[in-house]
Homo-oligomer: A and B are copies of this chain.
């Protein structure tokens, strides 16, 4: 699990120059330590799907690839396991964690719950400028929708959701959200591409409702709308997963 490692206000005896290294799922700040660097790169490497699901994560080869010894790499593996991206099997190394149908459902529900919470909190403190920025993104996304530009639509869509979470002014929430969102990024992406036109239009309407509730700062309403939006995404993604056994999972999901 991922959580944050932000430097909090420190005691007077401690010099101020400390910079935390174990940035989790964060922006691309220059990593000072080798471990942090490797952690970021390895996470991206896995998220981007360079290793087949369920396949072994080859320690030795990755060491060569990244040009480091096993020690920092293994530390990174432990962290990724804690994040839920991979799993560690005793004496048998790390495997890319497969996302089964149930895992996906769970993740979407939790993400939905978090976005729902974020929406409620955001309404309490969001500024007009932030709303304006989200509006801007919304119309940008609408443009991509009209042009059937799935890739950019997806990117902007993600950023809108991130903005809402950021507007909650809750760094803890933001960090956890980023972690979970990272886990299902691939599924969301491919599910998006496989979208039927109808669902896509539906999603656009939902986004309009979201924006509308946000403008009115209707916390409770926004909360519900976001949760329902994610529920619909969940349905679409899980359906997609069911149709394609490609890449993301094998079966092995019993009821």
Residues on B with C-beta less than 8 A from A56 are: 8-10
How far is A21 from B86 in the complex, measured between Cα atoms in Å?
11
**Interface readout for A156-174 with B: 1 if CB under 8 Å, 0 if not?**
0000000000000011110
How far is A11 from B95 in the complex, measured between Cα atoms in Å?
12
Interface size on A, residues (CB 8 A): 77
A192 near B: Cβ within 8 Å?
no
| B6–A82 CB distance below 8 A | no
How far is A191 from B56 in the complex, measured between Cα atoms in Å?
46
| A84–B10 CB distance below 8 A | no
| B1–A83 CB distance below 8 A | yes
A75 near B: Cβ within 8 Å?
yes
| A50–B8 CB distance below 8 A | no
| B71–A10 CB distance below 8 A | no
How far is A117 from B111 in the complex, measured between Cα atoms in Å?
10
A29 near B: Cβ within 8 Å?
no
How far is A45 from B2 in the complex, measured between Cα atoms in Å?
7
What residues of chain A have their CB less than 8 Å away from a CB belonging to chain B?
A: 1-11, 14, 18-22, 24-25, 32-33, 35, 41, 45, 50-52, 54-58, 61-62, 65, 71, 74-76, 78-79, 81-90, 92, 97-100, 103, 106-107, 109-110, 112-114, 116-117, 121, 170-173, 175-176, 179-180, 250, 252
| B121–A117 CB distance below 8 A | no
| A54–B10 CB distance below 8 A | yes
| A117–B109 CB distance below 8 A | yes
8 inter-chain pairs at a CB distance below 8 angstroms, sorted by A residue, are A3-B83, A3-B84, A5-B88, A19-B89, A84-B175, A106-B172, A110-B173, A176-B176
How far is A158 from B71 in the complex, measured between Cα atoms in Å?
38
How far is A107 from B170 in the complex, measured between Cα atoms in Å?
9
| B6–A62 CB distance below 8 A | yes
Residues on B with C-beta less than 8 A from A113 are: 113-114, 116-117, 173
Contact of A4 among B35, B65, B75, B76 (CB under 8 A): B65
Shortest CB distance A228–B (Å): 12
